[in-house]
Amino acid sequence: MNYKPNEMMTIAAARALKNSDVTFVGIGMPSAAANLARLTHAPDITLIYESGTLATKPTVLPLSIGDGELCETALTTVSVPEMFRYWLQGGRITVGFLGGAQIDRFANLNTTVVGPYDKPKVRLPGGGGAPEIATSCGEIFIIMAQGKRSFVDKLDFITSLGHGEGGDHRERLGVKTKGPTKLVTDLCVFEPDPVTKEMTVTSIHPGVTREQIQDNTGWTVKYADKVAETPAPTEKELTVLRELHARTARAHGEAGGKE
């Protein structure tokens, strides 16, 4: 089956999740990937959204963390303070799924401003719960479309800690969780170097070249000693993902959600 780069990205991210994971899910592409995993190979995965919904099983993708779909399909809903203090900061979540406007080679994320903080070119939505997610979840998966505007040599602002300055910087800051262990883009998959923690390409999506990856990255890309080719999407993965997006479009009255 033919597929789009965004579909490859979402499917590759979904595959990284396990049936036993307790996952803190962001809105947008993280939500699509997490729910695709739930609808395919990980039916027992526990999805948690920032609004306090535990073990939610939405039939369509939520517009925001306050979407009623999340509460209606959740096992239970707790207060936001309980969500953060007991569940998140209590170390009960295995994977946090994040995205961002900018990312650097050590997987630090910016969702605050583009340009100087006092006079930014663009003021972004801000951190929300992402800074806490980045430090409190057992590990972090990041999903982002790859381009030089977003994959930058130096962030304009660090909203969410990745591997900081690299190496053991997280440990020196007193952060005990693993941090970003996987960065999935529409071109490839990155994982941190075991020593330097610089994000390193471990898998390249079908049809993508190393030149394309470098042309869409604001730093000199490093590659693992053995780089795999990402398995192409299966018919089942594509069908389930497309049906999920079609249901969502119909529910929200968008074009493309035809019966």
* Confidence label for 65 from pLDDT (cuts 50, 70 and 90): confident
Output the six-digit token pair for 11: 């499917």
Contacts of residue 90, Cβ cutoff 8 Å, sequence gap at least 6: none
Residue 27, CA distances (Å) to 47, 96, 159, 236 in order: 12, 12, 17, 23
Contacts of residue 51, Cβ cutoff 8 Å, sequence gap at least 6: 65, 66, 70, 71, 77, 80, 83
256, pLDDT greater than 70: no
- Packing angle, helices 235-251 and 5-15, rounded to 10: 110
66, pLDDT greater than 90: no
pTM: 0.92
pLDDT tens-digit profile of 131-147?
A: 999 999 999 999 999 99
Closest among 207, 201, 202 to 221, alpha carbons compared? 201
Lowest mean pLDDT among 102-111, 121-130, 193-202: 121-130
Q: How many CA atoms lie within 13 A of 130 on its CB side?
A: 25
pLDDT at 255: 54
pLDDT tens-digit profile of 206-225?
A: 999 999 999 999 999 999 99
Active-site entry in 7, 50, 69, 132: 50
pLDDT tens-digit profile of 155-200?
A: 999 999 999 999 999 999 999 999 999 999 999 999 999 999 999 9
Does residue 50 have an active-site annotation? Answer: yes
Output the six-digit token pair for 217: 């990255």
pLDDT at 78: 95
Q: What is the mean pLDDT of residues 14-23?
A: 97
202, pLDDT greater than 90: yes
